[in-house]
Structures are given as structure tokens and as C-alpha cells.
Amino acid sequence: GVLYFICAFQNISCGIHYLASVFMGVTPRHVCRPPGNVSLVVFHNHTNWSLEDTGALLSLGQKDYVMVQLQNGEIWELSRCSRNKRENTSSLDYEYTGSKKEFPCVDGYIYNQNTWKSTAVTQWNLVCDRKWLAMLIQPLFMFGVLLGSVTFGYFSDRLGRRVVLWATSSGMFLFGIAAAFAVDYYTFMAARFFLAMVASGYLVVGFVYVMEFIGMKSRTWASVHLHSFFAVGTLLVALTGYLVRTWWLYQMILSTVTVPFILCCWVLPETPFWLLSEGRYEEAQKIVDIMAKWNRTSSCKLSELLSLDLQGPVGNSPTEVQKHSLSHLFYNWNIATRTLTVWLIWFTGSLGFYSFSLNSVNLGGNEYLNLFLLGVVEIPAYTFVCIAMDKVGRRTVLAYSLFCSALTCGVVMVIPHKHYILGVVAAMVGKFAIGAAFGLIYLYTAELYPTIVRSLAVGSGSMVCRLASILAPFSVDLSSVWIFIPQLFVGTLAFLSGVLTLKLPETLGKQLATTWEEAAKLESENESNSSKLLPTTNNSGLEKTEAITPRDSGLGE
């Protein structure tokens, strides 16, 4: 339990960094900076306002402008991305039909600072023709997540879980601070990219570490509730964003959440599973003895267990184990359909999860409270999944969660913007539903495939999931074209996924499949004939061989 909470605490930091850009990458209202000191500001019928406050009134369209008179007598029309110099300096009317000359914003921009004193966007002027650089902040981070999960999963198998946990956590602190002190945009992006790699690496290896210590009885609850700690990170992002309005200070404060884990992680032992895989039997035995002492139970002799295992049905030498490629997930027409459906659910879950979170600033009302509420609602969603999936079945819970999120996306689209409170409530329901689906898809995918490709199925699903997380920020950026584009995408995909989920077999109460024949039988088997055993608590012979390979199961956040 102590090991679980130490490792789960660090998931809070991962949740923080994954969503920090929600506020750090905000683009405030802005206006082109004039080429000199201003003596008069005119905006429609208003005069003498400060240029900073007037810039906040500019609509997103390009037609509006602010008229300013400089101390040298020149009159300029300042819009969001350009500025025009009037040839006739005698007229101070806002409406002007005379000749004027257009100039680019070479002197930079004046930003509205009512909400944020500075963001990464205002720091490096990532607006207008440089707007695409701002749009890359979150997608490039998610690309780092993709690479990090693969890289550190490999390192943890070679070097051990404990070393990688310490290295990734230290990296999260160092790269987090480096991003805050970045001298230019490219240094900032590089620091964030490596931060994404180590944060993702921690999530993967932390999941493996926890699963290799947790007993079979608690494994489902423990694995699902690792997501809850990730959600706490979202709450801290909202709280810190509300209290600190300068992006580099906000980034520094969020990065310090990693420090307690770095100070504690030296007490974490290596996992017996990894030590056994390396042939270090005496060290593994020592750790098992310490665990037994902590849990006030009797220890067991690993030598006896291992000799028993070698005589079992899976006691073949490792050299005889066949390697399987992605093509095995398309073994026949039924399995191919199952794989494509599962991949679509992974994609929808991830797209919905990040679209709801990143789009919280566009819902209206207090954007900090919006993100906080969308984070809070995840925690009961994961508890609901743990209870409901063993009561009514995996397929039913997953399908209804997807239908519910599709419905709420439709509801958000028809609520008028002035009734934003209803929109936020609908978004909370949608996030609850998509969070439930996201939490369940790991376990359900593992139960749908036989042992020989189980890790491959979950691993490939989590890769598809990351592809969606790279695309989600672009979907949210498209809300500037039409505000409901993110909801349209997520709602359509969720409905389609929900319909296809109903065609998948139910796995509640079924033994985990070990062969393709058993996996195919899932579709035709009558549920009433199924065993009363839950898939996560199979008999002792299967306990050693049927556990989901954790490295592939914990990647998709």
C-alpha cells in the first residue's frame, strides 16, 4: 500500500505536465504595437482609453481596428495583425475613406493583461503569421509522450524499474524548470518535448512497478485508480493557473510537485519479477521476505514456486516462445473487425478526454473553475467503472459510456452561449462518460485477445490513443473556425464507437483466452454457461501466465 501511494503520487505530476499548456499557451486579445508614443486612442465612439484595454475589445475578425495619434502627429489604424498609416493627418474621425499605407507589425504587439500577465504566446509573439508555432505546443508534447513510452519501457526491462523511476522523475523536475527558464521558443519546445518523454516514461514504468507488487485481488482497482491521481494533477493545474498569472512562474511551481517523490524514491525496492527475469534470485527472495514482514504474513520460497511453474503447462523454455507481429491482430475477418473496433474506441476515448480538457477555456464563464470541475468529475468516473463493470459487464458499461458522451456533445452544441453554466454541466457529464470509457478500455482490450497477442493488442491500442492525443489540440484550435467543431468530432466518433461496441463479445465471468480458438468462442458462447470466475482472478496456474503485461497497459493517458 505504501509503495502504491508513493508511485501513484508521482502520477499527479504527470497529469500536471500533460495539461499545463491549457493556460500556458493561452492567446490573449492583442493589437499591433504603434511605431511611437501614443497621445490619443480612439475606438469607435470612445476616446482616451489605454491602448491595452482597447485592444481587449477587438473582435476576432480582422475588420475592427484602434485609431491612435502619435506624439509626432502621425495617425495609425491598428488591427490585430497589421497597421495602416493614414496619409491625411488632419482628420481624427474613426471612419476614414482617404488613402493609407499598410505596414506589418515589426514592433510587436500589445496584449490584454486582464487575465494573464504573460503566456508562452505573448513571450515570443506566437500570433498572426507565427500562430502555427503556438498550435504546435501541445501536439509536439504528445509526440514526445509517444516516443517516451516506447523508449523507457525498453530501458526499464534492461536496467530495472527502480533506476528508470528515479531517472524519469528527476528528468521531470529538471526539464520542467528548464522550460520555465527557456530563452527562446525553440529551447522551450525542446525542454517540453523531453519533459513529455520522461513523464510518459514514468507513467509506463510506474504502472509496471505497481502491477508487479499489487496482488491479484486489488489489481483492477489499483490500476484504474492510478488514473484518479492523474486527475488530481488537472485540479492542481486549474488552481495554480488561477493563483499565478505569469507563465514561467506557473511552470516552475507546477514542476516542484515532483520533488517529494524524488526525495522518497530511494526507498523503493526493485520488483522481484524483474530480479527473477535477470536471474538475481537471492535479491528477489530478500524483497519478498521484507514484503511479507510489512504485510504481517508468512513469506514464500521463490525456488519452490519457480520449480512448480517450470513443470506447468507453460514451462517451455523462452526460446520456444513465438514472436507475433501486428498482422496477428488481423488473424481472421472476425478478429480484424474486433481490432479495428477496439482501435476506434481507444482513439475516441483519447480524443474525447483531451478535447474536453483543452476546450475548457472555450466553454464560457470562469475557465479555471471549468477545468477544475472537468478534473473532479474523472475521479467518480473511475470508481463507477470499477463497480459497474463487474455488475453489468464490460461491453454494456463501455457502450453506454460512449453513447452518453455522444449525447452530451450534442447537448453542448444546442445550448446557447449565454447559458454557459448548462454547457459546463453538460461538458462535465461528457467528461465523466468518456473518462469511464477510457478507464475501462485497458482491461476490456486485454480480455478480448488470447495470451499470445494480448500485450500487442493493448500496446497497439495505446499507440492509436496517442495518435488521437496528438490530433486533439488541432481539433480544439479549429473551434476558432466554428466553436463546436471539437464536440462534433467527439460526438460523432463516440456514437459510432458505441454502436460497434455492441457487436463485441462480453468478457465478464469468462476465463482469459489462451488460444485463437478460445478468443473466437467468446462471440458464440452463451453467457449463462460461462464460469463464475472473474477474468482478473483466475486459478493459480493462470495467475502467473495470464496477467496483462503491465508495460503495454499503462501507456494511454
Mean pLDDT, the chain, rounded, equals 79
Beta bridge partners of 100: 86
Task: Assign domain 1-28+122-268 to its CATH architecture.
Answer: Up-down Bundle (1.20)
pLDDT, tens digit, for every residue of 465-518? 889 989 988 888 887 788 788 889 999 999 999 999 998 888 777 766 666 677
In this structure, which long-range contacts are made by residues 273-276, counting pairs with CB atoms below 8 Å and at least 24 apart in sequence?
A: 273/212, 274/156, 274/157, 274/160, 274/161, 274/212, 276/302, 276/306
Q: Is 242 exposed, middle or buried (0-12, 13-18, 19+ CB in 10 A)?
A: middle
Give the three-class secondary structure for 110.
strand
pLDDT, tens digit, for every residue of 16-31? 999 898 888 888 888 8
Percentage with pLDDT > 90 across the chain? 25
Total number of residues shown for the chain: 557
Asked if residues 551 and 153 have their Cβ atoms less than 8 Å apart, the reply is: yes
pLDDT, tens digit, for every residue of 86-133? 887 777 777 777 788 888 888 889 888 888 889 999 999 998 889 899
Return the pLDDT at 311: 44
Average pLDDT rounded to a whole number, residues 374-385: 91
Asked if residues 360 and 11 have their Cβ atoms less than 8 Å apart, the reply is: no
**pTM higher than the cut 0.85:** no
- Kindly indicate the confidence band of residue 163, based on its pLDDT and cuts at 50, 70 and 90: confident
- Kindly indicate the confidence band of residue 6, based on its pLDDT and cuts at 50, 70 and 90: confident
Return the pLDDT at 160: 79
User: Residue 143: CB partners within 8 Å, gap ≥ 6?
Assistant: 193, 196, 470
pLDDT, tens digit, for every residue of 328-363? 777 778 788 888 999 999 999 999 998 988 888 877
* DSSP category for residue 125: T
Helix (H) or strand (E) holding 169: helix 161-180
Fold of 331-520: Growth Hormone; Chain: A; (1.20.1250)
Cell of 307: 520449480
Asked if the domains at 1-28+122-268 and 331-520 fall in one CATH topology, the answer is: yes
- Kindly indicate the confidence band of residue 315, based on its pLDDT and cuts at 50, 70 and 90: very low
Higher pLDDT, residue 374 or 513: 374
377, 379, 380, 381 alpha-carbon torsion, rounded to 10°: 80
Q: Is 115 exposed, middle or buried (0-12, 13-18, 19+ CB in 10 A)?
A: middle
Cα–Cα distance between 306 and 302 in angstroms, integer? 6
pLDDT, tens digit, for every residue of 415-474? 887 788 888 899 999 999 998 998 888 778 877 877 677 667 777 888 888 899 899 888
pLDDT, tens digit, for every residue of 174-189? 999 999 999 999 999 9
Cα–Cα distance between 473 and 139 in angstroms, integer? 6
- Kindly indicate the confidence band of residue 325, based on its pLDDT and cuts at 50, 70 and 90: low
Q: Which of 350, 338, 348 is nearest to 506 (CA)?
A: 338
Neighbours of 472 (CB within 10 A): 26
Return the pLDDT at 294: 62
Cell of 333: 475477418
Cα–Cα distance between 383 and 398 in angstroms, integer? 14
Return the pLDDT at 94: 73
Cell of 377: 468529475
Asked if residues 112 and 28 have their Cβ atoms less than 8 Å apart, the reply is: yes
Cα–Cα distance between 164 and 156 in angstroms, integer? 6
Asked if residues 22 and 360 have their Cβ atoms less than 8 Å apart, the reply is: yes
- Which of 152-166, 274-288, 305-319, 445-459 has the lowest average pLDDT? 305-319
DSSP 8-73: HHHHHHHHHHHHTHHHHT----EEEPPSS-EEEEEETTEES--HHHHHTT--SSSS--EEEEETTS
Residue at 62: amino acid letter: Q
User: Does residue 533 register a pLDDT over 60?
Assistant: no
CA angle 376, 213, 158 (to 5 degrees): 105
Cα–Cα distance between 523 and 335 in angstroms, integer? 10
Neighbours of 14 (CB within 10 A): 28
Domain edges within the chain: 1-28+122-268, 30-90+100-114, 331-520
484, 433, 241, 469 alpha-carbon torsion, rounded to 10°: -70
Cα–Cα distance between 413 and 410 in angstroms, integer? 5
Average pLDDT rounded to a whole number, residues 533-540: 36
Cα–Cα distance between 496 and 484 in angstroms, integer? 18
Average pLDDT rounded to a whole number, residues 195-205: 89
Alpha-carbon distances, residue 353 vs 32, 186, 359 (angstroms): 36, 28, 10
Q: CA 250: distance to chain centroid? A: 19
Q: How far apart are the first and last CA of the chain?
A: 22
